[in-house]
A = this chain, B = another copy of it.
Amino acid sequence: MSLLVTGTIGIDTVESPYGKADDVLGGSAAYFAFAASLLSPVRLVGVVGDDFPQAFLDLFEGRPIDTTGLEIRAGSKTFRWGGKYLDDINERETLFTDLNVISEAAPKIPEALRDSDYVFLANTHPAIQLEFIGQLSRSKLLVCDTMNLWIDTARDDLLKVLSAVHGVVLNDGEARMLTGENNLVTAGRAILKLGPRFAVIKKGEHGAMLVTPDDIFVLPAYPSENVKDPTGAGDSFAGGMMAYLAAIGRMDGAALKGAIARGTAVASITIEAFSLDSLAAADAQQVEARLGELKAMVAFD
């Protein structure tokens, strides 16, 4: 199945107790695409400014990432984000957010990509997610992410998105905020009442939970001792998850569980280096090896 992602492509500056990376490739769609490309071809839709370095464009070359949907907008500046991870690497401070081109008109999905089967709408204003949905002609699996800002300020639009998608991926705090339910299983079930057939609740270092109408699945994160930069973990998780579904062309409960495991494995690779460095150096075999370790780590008799 063809797979498409819409989201941000940006320039990040990241500090953690393990080092600093200045002006590196980042953004939700970049992490998603690199992660997904380990398991499936992926089409990237986003917009950058004409200051976007050629060296970053070159990073997409040689991978099964279709960048025909990456608009380079003349006269605009690329999205920039800076963050600092604390001694407890699960906590971070945002140092700056320069929306730049992200605050202008959204990119369009090129005609040739509108037939995409599986689509992931990474976090952005839900009104823009609705625009993207309107441009798609035959999506079989539509999954969105969101964030607390939109739950708070654009709830009506977000509810329209949720009624239109098949699945949602969001973090535990967002699930609680969206539904007013503290218990995550109850929150997951409440999300299903808003439209999606499944909800994937990310719990950061604690893993992820899948809630469907008739099933609950829980998986811990891979317990890495070598976390250097958690940026993009959630987007890499979504990329690994969606790419596995696209690769096998299924979206049933068993497929979703396998997909969450692949997403967990890929995310664990992402966070072991700054920016996209470890993802860029990874291959399908490394994902498979990490998956095997993960399976062994939760096995008991």
Residue A153, interface by CB 8 Å: no
Asked whether A209 is an interface residue with its Cβ less than 8 Å from the other chain, the reply is yes
Instruction: Tell me whether A227 is interfacial, beta carbon within 8 Å.
Output: yes
B257 with A300: CB separation less than 8 A: yes
Find residues 17-41 in chain A having any chain B CB closer than 8 Å to their own CB. none
> Which A169-228 residues sit within 8 Å CB-CB of chain B?
182-186, 189, 203, 206-207, 209, 216-220, 223-225, 227
Which A residues, 64 to 117, have Cβ-Cβ distances below 8 Å to chain B?
87-89
Residues of A in contact, count (CB < 8 Å): 33
Q: Tell me if A254 counts as interface (CB < 8 A to partner B).
A: yes
Q: Is the CB of B219 within 8 A of A220?
A: yes
Query: For the complex, what is the distance from the CA of A247 to the CA of B264, rounded to whole Å?
Result: 35
**A203: chain B residues within 8 A (beta carbon):** 206
Q: Is the CB of B225 within 8 A of A300?
A: no
For window 241-299 of chain A, which residues contact chain B by CB distance below 8 Å? 254, 257-258, 260-261, 295, 297-299
A301 within 8 A of B: yes
Measured between alpha carbons, how far is A184 from B203 in the docked complex, in Å? 16
| Contact B300 A258, beta carbon cutoff 8 Å | yes
Chain B residues near A185: list those with CB within 8 A: 223-225
Complex-state Cα separation, A219 to B223, whole angstroms: 11
B300 and A219: CB pair below 8 A?
yes
Which residues on B sit within 8 Å (CB–CB) of A225? 183, 185-186, 189
Contacting pair A88 B216 (CB below 8 A): no
Chain B residue nearest to A203 (CB atoms) is B206
Task: Please give, as numbers and ranges, the residues of chain B lying within 8 Å of A257 by CB-CB distance.
Answer: 299-301
User: How long is the Cα–Cα vector from A203 to B207 in the complex, in angstroms?
Assistant: 12
Which residue on chain B has the smallest CB distance to residue A299? Answer: B257
* B223–A216 CB distance below 8 A: yes
Contacts of A182 in B (CB 8 A): 87-89
B residues in contact with A220, CB < 8 Å: 206-207, 209, 218-220
Interface on A for B, CB 8 Å cutoff?
A: 87-89, 182-186, 189, 203, 206-207, 209, 216-220, 223-225, 227, 254, 257-258, 260-261, 295, 297-301
User: Given known contacts A206-B206, A209-B220, A216-B223, what 4 new A-B pairs fall within 8 Å (CB)?
Assistant: A87-B182, A203-B206, A220-B220, A258-B301
